[in-house]
Structure 1
Amino acid sequence: MTGVIVTGWSVLSSAGIGVDALAGRLAGAESGAVAASPGAGVGHLYEEPLPSPNGHALTDFDVRAQLGRKGTSSYDRATALAVVCCQEALREAGMTVDDTTRKRVGVVLGTSLGSFKSTSDYSRETLIQEKPYLVNPMLFPNTVMNCAAGQVAIRFGLRGVNVTIAGGALAFLNAVRYAGNVIERGYADVMLTGAVEEYTPHRAWASHLTGATTTVAAGEAAGVFALTGPQAPQWAGPRRSARILAVTTGYGPGGGEQAERALGGCVSRALRRAGADPAEITTVLTCESDEADRREYGPVSQVLGHEPRRIMAKRLLGECDAASGAVALAVLLAGTGGTAGEGLSLLTARGADGAVGAAIVKGYGDADTDRG
């Protein structure tokens, strides 16, 4: 990919729904986005026991209040978050979706494995129901990983490329790279690109038992960005917020030092592809959650030759797994008035298996309408 432009975006997180909610949370946070937050009480959300009384969930989220009753009764939580977020992103982009444009608008969403709760609940039904295992067939669509992306397309009548990428911690960066390739090859003019992760007992326990939430509580989020190319038509949105110049991924078998070297390589390749000088990187957004953790920030600083400002979105919004990258970009944009500010920023990601990735984002401080 040669770079994609963000014309509009939105995020659903523990801060609330939309750009303004996140900007408000950041405005009250110490040092932009690095102040640690314990989350809110989540015990009332589910009857099942939870590993912690606190979590970073949208505790008052009501999909019917956002979309109405029609068509939403079968949504699981991940699907509901994704559909509402896409609705907000389309609105923020000022995009016109009608019979002449809908074939040129696609969707790509990142995830870990879809809705863990929906899959688990369906499997449980096959074990506890009386023979011949009379499982409610309405439960099945939510067990498919591409359910959320499919429902987005159905809801808004989008007939372009529709993809779900199960990439774990790298899901969002993989989604951006995929979207960039689709746009560059002319298969779509706009890709609604993002990632979603729901808060449920299943995810909370999975994060707890794997040690992913030792420093921050489990969270949920959906982040979606309307991406287009430099020569996109006017209906794709009248302004630009930022440009993602390059995305690179790599793998360090076994993690540890090999993963750190692989991440350094990703940063070097991203700089070359973006034609950027390391000194231009003023901010790094990592998936770390502890000030002492430098597994991403260390290799990045070594390659850059200096230590830029580090933002750790997880400290404020929790462990959002596949949606962490989307949340990080949203934090960058929301913290600078809806754009990425002036200069270049670097997003990094690292998975437990040694997968790593990096993306370079150019800010447009004026958020103007020039797409050049």
Structure 2
Amino acid sequence: MTATTAGPGKAAAAGAAEERKVAVVEPLYVASAGVVSAAGLGLDALAERLLGGGEAHDEPVGEDAAEYPPRPVRAVRGLDVKEHLGRKGTKYLDRLTSFGLISCKAVLEGIEVDGARTGVVLATNTGSVSTHSTLLHDTLTLEKPYLVNPGRFPNTVMNSTTGQIAIRNGLRGLNATVAGGQTASLLAFRHARLALSLGRADRLLVGGVEELSAPAAWAWHRTGVLREGAALGEGAAVFTVQPDRPAGGELAELLACESRFTPDPRDYADGLAVAVSRALERSGVEPGEIDVVSLGAVHQRGLEAVERRGVRVALGGAPSATLRIADALGETYSASGSMQLAGLLALWKAQPPVTPVTALITSVGWDGNAAALVVRSPR
């Protein structure tokens, strides 16, 4: 990123403002991707689902499957953790950590890693809701509180997944967990861009992870935030992000990522429009150059209209094409921004564009946060 300073006086301030206005960020490159979703493992499985193939199941899985509310669920199925990670140290892994570890194993495959200069920036909401609820239940129902399973305690920490990723893969660089609700994944990409620009790392694993559980499903169901019939989802999408173009070619270029907080719900659409306009400006991209918009709030009552209005304001009209990843994978909340990026990459890999495509990923939350990321397909 480019920083500018100005001397005193209105003319200097105006000049500095103009200089900041035209400052364009250098692209970051996505070298690889690891995806765990209801579509299966990897970008190919996701592309098949998005292009109309693959079978979509709407029933929950796991020991608490019978306790879910009457709502469609797009769960990750048939995932044998031991097959992917081995038996050692996997006995007490929750779904959240398992998704993160498996996606990161895929993203690092075939890459020579400098552990000292490689880090992790991962988005989540509260960590593993299922682990929290299980320990709380055991504490209240067992004869003595200290009889709860101690092996589950590490998973109650919000940054447990990033810690496990770093330990298992020997990554000693920056290690950050970003909790930002609906916009968490895009905030993670913004954090990663800042860290890389400051030289905190040479390469970062960036993405988001979310798990399904009966308690979380009931929370969504009772609040009435989601449209009737909207499915809940889970999974992880993690990407290798670096400032240097990969020798084997990139999956995408990440341009600017901007965020905005708006305290008044009546102004949420305007807040998103500001975030989008800033991201376009910092990317050196005109509104009319956006070929497709990947929307994040497509299943949320009220927010869906807010997001569409904010995008229209920023682009000067409705986008020519949209991608609704939640229709295929369900609502993945803090991991949704990463899944939105994964969807774009999956389609570009399956059907390479004839000419470079410029995409916009948007996210807006009920807490007033909004974010936008500009992405370009491989040249």
- Paired with 2:337 and 2:41, the residues of 1 have a C-alpha distance of 17
Between the two proteins, the alignment pairs up a number of residues equal to 349
- Going from structure 1 to structure 2, the CA distance change for 1:8 and 1:339 (only over 3 Å counts) comes to farther
Q: Which runs of 5+ in 2 are unaligned?
A: 2-24
Which residue does the alignment assign to 1:326? 338
Q: Quick check: 338-347 or 270-279, which moved more?
A: 338-347
* C-alpha contact 1:197 1:321 (8 A) present in aligned 2: yes
Among 258, 264, 288, which residue is 2:273 paired with? 264
Q: Is the 8 A contact 2:123 2:177 kept in 1?
A: yes
Task: State how far apart, in whole Å, the 2-side matches of 1:178 and 1:132 are.
Answer: 39
Provide the C-alpha distance between the structure 2 equivalents of 1:177 and 1:44, rounded to a whole number of angstroms: 34
Offset at 1:176?
Answer: 0.6
Instruction: Look up the SS of the partner of 1:73 in the other structure.
Output: coil
Question: How far apart are the structure 1 equivalents of 2:102 and 2:286?
Answer: 38
Residue in 2 that maps onto 1:15: 39
Deviation at 1:11, TM superposition (A): 1.1
- The match for 1:305 among 312, 316, 320 is 316
- After TM superposition, the structure 1 = structure 2 runs for residues 1-372 of structure 1, keeping only pairs within 5 Å, are 1=1, 2=25, 3-28=27-52, 39-42=57-60, 45-46=63-64, 48-52=66-70, 54-91=72-109, 94-97=110-113, 101-131=114-144, 133-215=146-228, 216-230=230-244, 238-255=248-265, 257-289=266-298, 293-308=304-319, 309-337=321-349, 341=353, 342-365=356-379
Aligned-partner residue type, residue 80 of structure 1: S
Task: Compute the displacement of 1:317 (Å).
Answer: 0.8
Q: Distance in 1 between matches of 2:195 and 2:112?
A: 20
- Distance across 1 between alignment mates of 2:143 and 2:158: 27
Shift of 1:243: 1.2
CA shift for structure 1 position 133: 3.0
Structure 2 residue identity aligned to 1:336? W
Percent of aligned pairs with the same amino acid: 39
2:14 alignment partner in structure 1? none
CA offset at residue 28 of structure 1?
1.8
Taking a change above 3 Å as real, the CA distance of residues 79 and 237 of structure 1, as seen in their structure-2 partners, is: farther
Instruction: Give distance in 2, aligned partners of 1:22 and 1:38.
Output: 11
Structure with greater proportional helix content: 2
Deviations 1:213-249 (A, max 9, x none): 324111101000100013x6xxx66321111111111
| Separation in 2, partners of 1:28, 1:109 | 30
**Match of 2:79, as an amino acid?**
F
Residues 321 and 289 of structure 1, relative CA distance in 2, 3 Å threshold: same
Q: Distance in 1 between matches of 2:185 and 2:352?
A: 17
What is the CA-CA distance between 1:48 and the residue it aligns to? 4.7
In 2, distance between residues paired with 1:240 and 1:146? 29
CA distance in 2, matches of 1:328, 1:211: 23
Per the alignment, do residues 43 and 52 of structure 1 end up closer, same or farther by CA in structure 2, a change over 3 Å counting?
farther
Moved more, 122-131 or 274-283: 122-131
Alpha-carbon distance between aligned partners in 2 of 1:74 and 1:290, rounded to the nearest angstrom: 33
Distance in 1, Cα, partners of 2:364 & 2:316? 20
**TM-score after normalising by structure 1:** 0.88
**Conserved? CA contact 1:38–1:217, under 8 Å:** no
SS across alignment from 1:337: helix
Q: Does the CA contact (< 8 Å) of 2:290 and 2:360 recur in 1?
A: yes
SS across alignment from 1:140: helix
Deviation track 1:19-71 (CA, whole Å, cap 9, x = no partner) reads 111122122269xxxxxx97422266525511126311112222112112112
Structure 1, residues 292-334: CA drift from partner, whole Å, max 9, x if none?
9432122212221232211111111101000100111000110
Cα distance between partner residues in 2 of 1:74 and 1:209: 30
In 2, distance between residues paired with 1:120 and 1:86? 26
Q: C-alpha displacement at 1:290, in angstroms?
A: 5.4
Shift of the 175–203 alpha-carbon distance from structure 1 to 2, 3 Å rule, reads same
* Secondary structure of the structure 1 residue equivalent to 2:349: coil
Q: Is the 8 A contact 2:61 2:75 kept in 1?
A: no
How far apart, in 2, do the equivalents of 1:23 and 1:295 lie? 28
Structure 1 residues 244-291: Cα deviation after superposition (integer angstroms, max 9, x where no partner): 111111122242x31101001111111111111111101011113259
